[in-house]
Amino acid sequence: MSLYHEAAEFLTKSPTEGGSLKARVFRRKNLKSSPNQLYALVIETCRWSEVLTEIIERSDLLKLERKLTPALALLLAHDLLISKGGIALPQSHGLRVSMERHKGRLTSELTLARLRRKAPSMAVLKDQVLKASAGEESQYPRWVRVNSLRSTLEDQLETTFSNYARAQSLDEIMAAGSEKKIYIDPHVPNLVAITQGTDLTKTEAYISGKVILQDKASCFPAYLLDPRSEDGHVVDACAAPGNKTTHLAAILHDHEPEFEAESQIIYAFEKDSKRAQTLEKMVKAAGSKEVTRIAFGQDFLQVDPHAERFAQVGALLLDPSCSGSGIVGRDSMPELHMPRAPESKKAKASDKGAPGNPRKRKHAEVEDDEERRTIRDDDGNETVLNSERDVAARLEALAAFQLSIILHAFQFPAATKVTYSTCSIHDQENEEVVMRALASDVAKKRGWRILKRGDQVAGMRDWPVRGRPKPCNGETEIAEGCIRSFKNDGRGVMGFFVAGFVRTREGDGTGSSDDGPYVRDEDGMILRDVLGMPVLKSTGAPVSLEGKTQEKRAEQPVSSEEEEEDDDAEEEDDDEEEWEGFGS
């Protein structure tokens, strides 16, 4: 079966499997075509289907080529007229011949369709098509985190975003239309919002890991955790694809003291080996490899918190699988238009439900039925649910798993900071899990409590949307400590939840305070002398630079990217020698 026949099936048949197009394509076994190619063809054809339907009908293609079904005509017309590569079939293939003999007529119809839409060029038409077919995401800004391991905000403003006008508010970004505008986020450091429409993935900054596309809310957990040199090693318990792991690495880099300090490691666990490979790629691209140890396929719950190698783990970021109900545009699928089949021709079995029936149909509508029965978590796993009771049971199962992750993290002997986050909007997975964690034996025994709003990093303290008091049993301090965000509330972010837990080591009798050896101001920032050296609590005097400066200087690469690559190669060898896996 050709790519086009397989794609036509996805385009026309009501899904029997449920789930988004992406999930259905990637889950389908025995596909002859590459799932990536197939998915791209179907989704792009949907985007262009209104224009292509007009072209096919006006050119009478289906009357002239009786072997073509409406879906095949749509897919082939897409590749013939729109795709750079043309039709992906041998020149003598019947389908390709059927299309190419009408190329002149179809191309003229494309020009007329473009002119009817008042688009002076194909580029403008493409822009229009993309906008018209954009889903929920188009109402949101695009969030971009500047990766401080590879670049700085200033550098990016002068390079990647040099032709963007500075916006004074997020509203300006949302109202900017096609104008390129940029807004520097007031809550999360190194984060900007830009107008939708530009494909940043093609830029040098994206390819080289200088910028990372990451929703603002997804930046909250690492920022709230705020790992500092005195916190020791860090755990990212559920790490793939790695947005938060790489954010943690950038924050460690930003907080790296100029003076002698133990080097810090991020232990990144990922239960799913395939996703762990994505994590590895992201960690490498973001320049975080040196500080990150990935546990491929390792279940965090099977890891022994008391193992020697975790003795210095002071901070843990927990971002476990959840219902994903806060994700923006997860299932959005462009509206599909189908050319009408010629009158005399009976609709082929493979075209049932497409033309003749309502000519326009939203994939979402087809999937709505499925949606009632299917919930998809943020890892893309789907569960078929038949009733409200099923939904409640699924949320309870997720909540029980999420709670077990927190309780496991609470056991790490040196841990004093934990963040827990979900991209869910459900109380059951959010405040209710927090309350259950705080009420647990391990929390009580070890002195874990909520990180109060007043003790949070400045940007999180200022963020106005807080936890819901009701599921916190009216305990406002806990609700205020929880941070929420909601879709469609004008703040331009996804639905999200994060809470921090802290404890002092006195809580379990180990006797040291949890904010490290340096004097801090009321924002929790380390006090420094005029040279920027941190002031020690023990002596009241700044730390001496001796020793470290020379060592640092000796570590500096001579320069050049080539050297960086060489370094990488060496690190790989080093890693292989040093790292023997996590075990339990």
Ligand X SMILES: C[S@@+](CC[C@H](N)C(=O)[O-])C[C@H]1O[C@@H](n2cnc3c(N)ncnc32)[C@H](O)[C@@H]1O
- What does the binding site for ligand X look like in residue numbers (CB under 6 A)? 218, 237-244, 269-272, 275, 299-301, 319-321, 378-379
Q: Has 542 been labeled as part of a binding site?
A: no
Environment class of 105 (CB within 10 Å of its CB; exposed 0-12, middle 13-18, buried 19+): middle
Q: Has 241 been labeled as part of a binding site?
A: yes
Q: Has 270 been labeled as part of a binding site?
A: yes
Whose Cβ is closer to ligand X: residue 195's or residue 218's? 218
CA geometry: angle at 295 spanning 292 and 301, to 5°?
120
Whose Cβ is closer to ligand X: residue 233's or residue 275's? 275
CB of 174 to ligand X, least distance (A): 24
Query: 220, 216, 221: which is closest to 193 by C-alpha?
Result: 216
Peptide bond into 241 cis (omega under 30): yes
CB of 217 to ligand X, least distance (A): 11
Task: Write a three-state SS string for 133-183.
Answer: HCCHHHHCCEEEEECCCCCCHHHHHHCCCCCCEECCCHHHHHCCCCCCEEE
Residue listed under structure tokens 């909250």: 220
Q: Which residue is nearest to ligand X (CB)?
A: 238
Residues 238, 96: Cα–Cα separation, whole Å: 47
Whose Cβ is closer to ligand X: residue 128's or residue 277's? 277
Whose Cβ is closer to ligand X: residue 74's or residue 239's? 239
Environment class of 104 (CB within 10 Å of its CB; exposed 0-12, middle 13-18, buried 19+): exposed
Residues 362, 370: Cα–Cα separation, whole Å: 13
Cβ atoms within 10 A of the Cβ of 390, count? Answer: 14
Q: Has 339 been labeled as part of a binding site?
A: no
Long-range CB contacts (< 8 A, 24+ apart) of 529-537? 532/258, 533/258, 533/259, 534/257, 534/259
CB of 238 to ligand X, least distance (A): 3
Q: Has 345 been labeled as part of a binding site?
A: no
Whose Cβ is closer to ligand X: residue 215's or residue 367's? 215
Whose Cβ is closer to ligand X: residue 47's or residue 233's? 233
Q: Has 190 been labeled as part of a binding site?
A: no
CB of 474 to ligand X, least distance (A): 29
CB of 284 to ligand X, least distance (A): 15
Residues 483, 462: Cα–Cα separation, whole Å: 10
DSSP state of 356: S
Q: Has 299 been labeled as part of a binding site?
A: yes
Whose Cβ is closer to ligand X: residue 302's or residue 544's? 302
Q: Has 242 been labeled as part of a binding site?
A: yes
CB of 581 to ligand X, least distance (A): 14
Residues 349, 422: Cα–Cα separation, whole Å: 43
CB of 498 to ligand X, least distance (A): 11
Query: 567, 442, 544: which is closest to 501 by C-alpha?
Result: 442
- How far apart, in Å, are the Cα atoms of 143 and each of 173, 182, 202, 506? 11, 10, 16, 40
Whose Cβ is closer to ligand X: residue 133's or residue 245's? 245
Active site residues: 423
What values do phi and psi take at 156, rounded to 5? -70, -35
Structure tokens belonging to residue 258: 């100029």
CB of 223 to ligand X, least distance (A): 12
CA geometry: angle at 16 spanning 398 and 341, to 5°?
140
Whose Cβ is closer to ligand X: residue 321's or residue 416's? 321
- How far apart, in Å, are the Cα atoms of 509 and each of 205, 272, 314, 413, 505? 48, 37, 16, 11, 6
Evaluate whether 473 touches 434 at the Cβ level (below 8 Å). Answer: no
Environment class of 418 (CB within 10 Å of its CB; exposed 0-12, middle 13-18, buried 19+): buried
Residues 96, 80: Cα–Cα separation, whole Å: 9
Residues 222, 415: Cα–Cα separation, whole Å: 15
Residues in the chain: 584
Residue listed under structure tokens 């990935």: 294
CB of 239 to ligand X, least distance (A): 6
Binding site for S-adenosyl-L-methionine: what residues are annotated? Answer: 238-244, 270, 299, 319
Annotated binding site: 238-244, 270, 299, 319
